[in-house]
Amino acid sequence: MEEIMKYQNIQVETREKVGLITLHRPDAMNALNGELLSELVHSLQVFDRDDGIGAIVITGNKKVFAAGADIKSMVNANATDMLTGSFVELFDGIGVIKKPLIATVAGYALGGGCELAMACDMIVAAENARFGQPEVTIGVIPGAGGTQRLTRAVGFFLSINILKKPLNSLQRLPPALRWLSALVRKRSTRLLNSLYRRD
């Protein structure tokens, strides 16, 4: 296995044949910025080339997977900056990973965080997982695939509702159940708890 570089915004480790990537911007609720996404894509590429890795897990912490894009990094951006920026291109780098990608989600997966989870092949959700695309409330569209993946996953009408109000993973809506690969109940949280680092 090639050596994994030191990262500032994610934590990376190997557990047997699984590559585990933990989003780690605790002071910003794991908000996605260019630096985090660059590190994420790099670590995914390293694991993808490693013959000893069979699957890759992307996770956050017990309270938040990722609370969306880092709006602070966009405050001074104009339309041209947004169009020519690398944010969406970095998301495209996730789509070319050949090995199975599993998102384990606890807490909030909003905006870009929801899109990141949907970019994975499977979503395993804790009972407290909440999915949503609230960026429309500040005049921003789900630009990293959310407008396509969300409607494919849950259908048009539920997508409209999710744009207005986050979807709780316990809402027993048939489309929501098809969207999630697994729902981990409280009595079965050992799986999720084993993934999260203890601070």
Two tokens at 186? 């409280």
Catalytic annotation present for 13: no
**Annotated catalytic residue, options 67, 115, 119, 144:** 115
Three state DSSP letters for the chain: CCCCCCCCCEEEEEECCEEEEEECCHHHCCCECHHHHHHHHHHHHHHHHCCCCCEEEEECCCCEEECCECHHHHCCCCHHHHHHCCHHHHHHHHHCCCCCEEEEECCEEECHHHHHHHHCCEEEEECCCEEECHHHHHCCCCCCCHHHHHHHHHCHHHHHHHHHCCEECCCCCHHHHHHCCEEECHHHCHHHHCCCCCC
Catalytic annotation present for 115: yes
**Annotated catalytic residue, options 31, 135, 145, 153:** 135
**Annotated catalytic residue, options 60, 107, 111, 112:** 112
Please tell me the distance from the alpha carbon of residue 164 to that of residue 158, in angstroms, as a whole number: 10
Two tokens at 139? 């005049």
Catalytic annotation present for 112: yes
66: amino acid identity, one letter? A
**Annotated catalytic residue, options 69, 109, 117, 125:** 69
Catalytic residues: 69, 112, 115, 135
